[in-house]
Amino acid sequence: IVVITHELDVVRELADRVVVMSAGRVVEQGSTYDFFSAPASEVGRAFVAATLRDRPSPEDLERLRAGHPGRIVTADVVDDAGESGGVGSVLSRAAQHGVSFELLFGGISALQSRVFGALTIELRGVDAGIDAVIAELRAITRVEETAK
C-alpha cells in the first residue's frame, strides 16, 4: 500500500518505509525509524521537528538561556547506543569530570519497538570537564551546542 500524506502521525502508525519528496524529486528514503530518529534531508528535518517537538523552539531556547547560565546542549537519543551506553550513561558519569547537569527540555518516542528523541541539557562546571562530557556524548550520538 502506498500512502501519500503530510500527516506524519499517520506515517508513524502505518508505514515501514518513508520516501520524502521535494519539488518533484526524492530527497530521502529509508525505514520509518531512521527517518524519524535521524532525518537526512532538510525537508525531512522540518517535517519531523514540526511533529515531534522534542527540541526547544528558538523562543524556548532564549527563555532557557536567560535562566540557565551553563552550557546548553541538545543530544539525540537513539535506541542503539552500544556498549558505552546511551546519553543517560554518559550523564551519570558527568560528576567524574566535575560536571553537573539539569534536564531542560526534551522528548522520547517509540517507533517500531525502538526509542528515539532528543534531550536539551544544561551542563555546569569547568570548561575542560564540560568539553569531556560533550566529547563522550558525540562519540555515541549527534550533539548540538547552543551559542550563548
87 lies in the same domain as 102:
yes
68 lies in the same domain as 107:
yes
Model confidence at 70, pLDDT cuts 50, 70, 90, reads: very high
End-to-end distance of the chain based on CA atoms, in angstroms?
48
Q: In this structure, is residue 1 part of a structural domain?
A: no
82 lies in the same domain as 122:
yes
Question: For residues 76 and 88, what is the distance between their CA atoms, to the nearest angstrom?
Answer: 11
47 lies in the same domain as 62:
no
67 lies in the same domain as 140:
yes
Q: In this structure, is residue 86 part of a structural domain?
A: yes
117 lies in the same domain as 140:
yes
Query: Percent of the chain, pLDDT > 70?
Result: 96
- CATH number assigned to the domain comprising residue 85: 3.30.70.260
Q: Which residues of 51-76 are buried (b: 16+ CB within 10 A; e: fewer)?
A: bbebbbeeeebeebbeebebbbbbbb
Mean pLDDT in residue range 62-89? 85
Of residues 5 and 147, the one with the higher pLDDT is 5
Q: In this structure, is residue 3 part of a structural domain?
A: no
- Mean pLDDT taken over the chain: 90
Question: For residues 107 and 31, what is the distance between their CA atoms, to the nearest angstrom?
Answer: 21
- Number of folded domains in the chain? 2
Q: What is the extent of the structural domain holding 39? A: 8-52
118 lies in the same domain as 96:
yes
39 lies in the same domain as 68:
no
Query: Percent of the chain, pLDDT > 90?
Result: 63
pTM of the model: 0.81
48 lies in the same domain as 62:
no
pLDDT at 84: 56
Of residues 82 and 147, the one with the higher pLDDT is 147
Residues with Cβ < 8 Å from 109, sequence gap 6 or more? 36, 52, 54, 115, 116, 117
